[in-house]
Structure 1
Amino acid sequence: MPDIHVSAAIITDRAGRVLVVRKQGTTRFMQPGGKPEPGETPAQTLIRELHEELALQVDETALHPLGVFVSAAANEPDHRVVADAFALRAEAADVIVQAELAELRWLEPGDVSSVPLAPLSVEHLLPIAWA
């Protein structure tokens, strides 16, 4: 099973809600982030992706590394996603849907049923966010 390497952000607000996004042409919501460009570190990838997708300006010192997690890919059949995950804080007023994103949602703690979610989010990232 081929691997897809990504960087992903668990973004929480003051109320403990977690941001999830849905890319255009897909049905599942997931943590924001994306694939690295040549020579990028996982943190650099995430900083670039958050700027492109959500207009967030993030300094590397604001990222808290959480580890590497593996799940079935949400949008590429027969692939696994290998995600370097980071946590950071932002507020709803700070994020704007742009680039390839179709929409975003802020999930209340424990809410895994209001929108269809990617396996990585359900299996690993949301449980960490709400631990």
Structure 2
Amino acid sequence: MTQPDTVKVIETANWILRDGAKILSVRSHGRDRFYLPGGKVDPGETPLDAVKREINEELGVTLLPETIRELGIFAGHGHNQPNGAIVRMTCFIADYTGTLSPAREIAEMRWLTPHERHLMAPMGQKITAALFDI
């Protein structure tokens, strides 16, 4: 008897920052698409802890704890993920302190409009469409 195929689920925590009709997006070195800032949840870490850590590492800012709110959880096939892995994104909104600046693996940050969402990975496109009700 064969074992059923299992699909890998990658847990991430992501920050959604809007400025009117634009959403903050980042592109990692060597990647061709933009993503919502954030990253993988480490073992033993909560999504809340992960989003605070990732945003500080990637963009050099600190999320203000009293303003952090979970927006929702979105799941779908990950961009450039092997064997059809599913990305499960816990998304947060929050105010921040500091100056946004790409750091570590982030090559570029850009404020994208809903009409530029084709520059984003598929999950970013899906979430942006939902946020802007398009």
Query: Does residue 122 of the first structure (1) align with residue 125 of the second (2)?
Result: yes
Q: For 1:8-27, what aligned pairs fall within 5 Å after superposition? A: 8-13=14-19, 15-27=20-32
Q: Which runs of 5+ in 2 are unaligned?
A: 1-6
User: Whose Rg is larger?
Assistant: 2
Contact 1:20-1:29 within 8 A present in 2 as well: yes
1:82 is matched by which residue type in structure 2? R
Query: Does residue 79 of the first structure (1) align with residue 85 of the second (2)?
Result: yes
Give TM-score scaled by structure 2 length.
Answer: 0.83
Contact 1:17-1:108 within 8 A present in 2 as well: yes
Q: Which runs of 5+ in 1 are unaligned?
A: none
CA, structure 1 residues 95+129, in 2 after alignment: closer, same or farther (shift >3 Å)?
Answer: farther
For 1:61, the equivalent position in structure 2 comes to: 66
Q: Percent identity?
A: 31
Give TM-score scaled by structure 1 length.
Answer: 0.85
Query: Does residue 49 of the first structure (1) align with residue 54 of the second (2)?
Result: yes
1:4 is matched by which residue type in structure 2? I
Alignment length (residue pairs): 126
Higher relative contact order (CA 8 A, sep 6+): 1
